Every structure is written in C-alpha cells, then in structure tokens.
Amino acid sequence: MTSKYLITGSTGFIGYHLVNRLCKDSKNIVYGIDSINSYYTTRLKKIRLRILKKNRNFSFKKLNMTNKKQLSLEINKINPNYIIHLAGQPGVMYSFKNPKSYLKNNLIATKNLINIIRHKNLKKFIFGSSSSVYGEQKKYPIKENSSLNPKNYYALTKKKCEEIILNDKKLNNKSIIFRFFTVYGPLSRPDMFVSIFLKNLKKNKTTFLYNKGNHFRDYTYVDDIVEFLIKSLKKRKNIFKKKIYNICASRPKKIIDLVGIMGRNLNIRPSIKFMPKRKGEMLKTYGSNNKLLKEFGKKKFTRFEIGIKKTIKYFKKYNY
C-alpha cells in the first residue's frame, strides 16, 4: 500500500536527508514544503532541492507556514498520512539577534500546522525538537524527564512548540517529539561549527574556539537521526504514549578534540584562536539514549571519525 508523507523544511539539512531516504521506497509518495528562507545561503538549499527532484516520487512546494491559508490549502490537497515537521528557525546565537524569526517560524508556523491537522485523519505526526530545551543541567547524561531550562529564545520557542503538541488532545496518540542533539553530516548547515571550521580551513582562515574549545557536544550523524524518524513511523502505538525521546549518540566530544580529528582527516594543521565563552551557549550537551534504544531497539551510532569523512567528501564535491 502506498503512503503519503509530508515533510516540512524539506530543503533544510535534516529534511533533505529524510526525504531522500523516504524516496528510496517507491511505494512512498513524498511531499516537501519549505519557504527556502535566507537564514543561510539559499544556494545550498537549491543544491539539496536539485538532488531531491531526481526522485520521481517527490514533489515540492515553496510555501511559508506562517501563511495559514496557503498551508491549509496545500495540506488539504495532499491529504498526507504522515507529517514530519522539521521546518523552523534554528541556531542559538542568532536568536539573540533576531528573536522575531523564532516567534514566526517556530511558534506561529507550528501553531498554524497543528490547528490545521488536528481535524485531519492523520496516522502520525512527528516534531523535531532540540536538546537546547534542557539548558544547563547538573546531571549527565540528560534524560527526557530532566527539568527544562531554556537559555535562549530558540530553546524557549522549541519548548513552547512541544507544549502545543503535548496539550493537543486530538493528536494525543498520534504525535511524538524527538529532541535532536547536535546533528552533522553531508550538506549540513553552514552556521554550525563543523561547516564553519571546514570553510575556514579551505580559505586559510582562523577559527575562533569559544570557551577555549572546552564545550562538549553530543555529535549525532544525520543518517542515525533519519533512521529513528523512519522507524517511529512504523512502530505501534505504545511509543506514542511515551511521547518524548532524545536522539543522540550519547558520546559527547570536546570541540577542541573535534578540531584535531578534522585537521588530521584533511592533513592540515588548522589555525585556531581561543575566545571567551559566549552568552546563552550551553557548555555541554550530552544526552541519554536509553529510552530511545529501549523502545526502538539497539543500534550502533555512527562514530564521528566515520561520519566526518562523508561530510568532508560532500563539502568538497559541492563547494558550499
């Protein structure tokens, strides 16, 4: 039987990888929507879209989810069985510069979507949330039931989106929330550390290491994220009662060590400059994936040393 999937944020980093994987099964019909905003270079989004359009079972519509009427028309037209909501305004530091963008693209866009789909005959709804909702914690690894301490506007809007979904009775047994921890991989976002570092290397520029590179990040390879998103679509109802799951490799890495691994991979000695800590940035992200693996089955997460090789290959090929 064919299934219809709607992926919001389909020209974004994670959305692109999810669409590509779903399209591999010719029984799936995959729809993508995205505003293709200019938070980062639209050239990269267009490269992703060009690759995605090679799939015959994929269709795309450029659409801003803050426009409820247009969103509603599109959803009525598609009538999807599954929705995976990945569109949004990411980035922690940018949230101090432009909080309005988070209000619009996270909160209003999600509210619009939920108001439209709550009356639909949908099988499952998945929301891509973030580890940043936890903020700083005393105990690591962070479990899903830890207290939430958003430290920036990005985290706050993600928390609010989660609440909208959790409080919606109509979506109760159909919705699931995944909290992603620092995702990396081919064609990843240019505002994230791995891309910034690779770009600086290419241009012979110095990379600033805030907090002297002593931040810990629970780097998680994008294919691993996608694997769990797809698994959850096929799982039975009980996983939806438990609602919130971290997706993380649960292997935090210090940024300074990451720099060493990437430098060795490229055989380049990077130029780095230590800088003080920045306001609003988390010192450590380190999640527990026990709940995830218990419900979805065991899995070996991709080692950073392996994932980064593929990331670098794409970085060179597409020159982004």
Ligand X SMILES: NC(=O)c1ccc[n+]([C@@H]2O[C@H](COP(=O)([O-])OP(=O)(O)OC[C@H]3O[C@@H](n4cnc5c(N)ncnc54)[C@H](O)[C@@H]3O)[C@@H](O)[C@H]2O)c1
Catalytic positions are 154
Which listed residue (29, 183, 187, 194) binds ligand X by CB under 6 A?
A: 183
Tell me if 15 contacts ligand X by CB under 6 A: yes
- Asked if 252 touches ligand X (CB under 6 A), the answer is no
177 SS3 class: strand
> Does 20 participate in binding ligand X (rule CB under 6 A)?
no
- Contact with ligand X (CB under 6 A) among 31, 34, 193, 209: 34
- Report the residue closest to ligand X, judged by CB: 12
Long-range Cβ contact pairs of 310-315 (< 8 A, separation 24 or more):
310/185, 310/186, 311/184, 311/185, 311/186, 311/188, 311/194, 311/198, 312/198, 312/262, 312/265, 312/266, 313/186, 314/186, 314/187, 315/186, 315/195, 315/198
**84/125 Cα distance (integer angstroms):** 6
Residue 124 phi, psi (nearest 5): -145, 150
**130 binding ligand X? (CB under 6 A):** yes
Quick one: which of 13, 94, 134, 320 contacts ligand X (CB under 6 A)?
A: 13
Asked if 315 interacts with ligand X (CB under 6 A), we say: no
* DSSP strand pairing (253-254 vs 216-217): antiparallel
Nearer to ligand X, 236 or 306 (CB): 306
Among 47, 49, 58, 88, binds ligand X (CB under 6 A): 88
The yes or no reply on residue 11 touching ligand X (CB under 6 A) is yes
Choose between 159 and 174: whose C-beta lies nearer to ligand X: 159
Task: Kindly tell me which residue out of 5, 6, 7, 12 binds ligand X, with binding defined by CB under 6 A.
Answer: 12
Kindly tell me which residue out of 20, 81, 137, 182 binds ligand X, with binding defined by CB under 6 A. 182
What distance in Å separates the CA atoms of residue 25 and residue 28, rounded to the nearest whole number? 6
157 binds ligand X (CB under 6 A): no
Give yes or no for a contact between 205 and 273, defined as CB atoms under 8 angstroms apart. Answer: no
Q: Residue 194 and residue 238: Cα distance in Å, rounded?
A: 37
Binding pattern for the stretch 187-216 against ligand X, x by CB under 6 A and - elsewhere: --x---------------------------
DSSP-based three-state secondary structure for 283: coil
The dihedral of CA 118, 119, 125, 127: what is its sign?
Answer: negative
What residues from 53 to 82 belong to the interface with ligand X (CB under 6 A)? Answer: 64-66
Give the residue, chosen from 14, 49, 92, 176, that forms a contact with ligand X under the rule CB under 6 A. 14
Phi, psi torsion values for 245, nearest 5 degrees: -135, 135
Q: Does 176 bind ligand X (CB under 6 A)?
A: no
Q: What share of residues in the chain are helix, strand, coil (percent, to 5)?
A: 45, 20, 40
Tell me how many degrees the CA angle 310-204-209 measures, rounded to the nearest 5.
75
**Number of residues this chain uses to bind ligand X (CB under 6 A):** 27
- At residue 91, the 3 state secondary structure works out as coil
Binding site for ligand X (CB under 6 A): 9, 11-15, 34-37, 45, 64-66, 86-90, 105, 109, 128, 130, 180, 182-183, 189
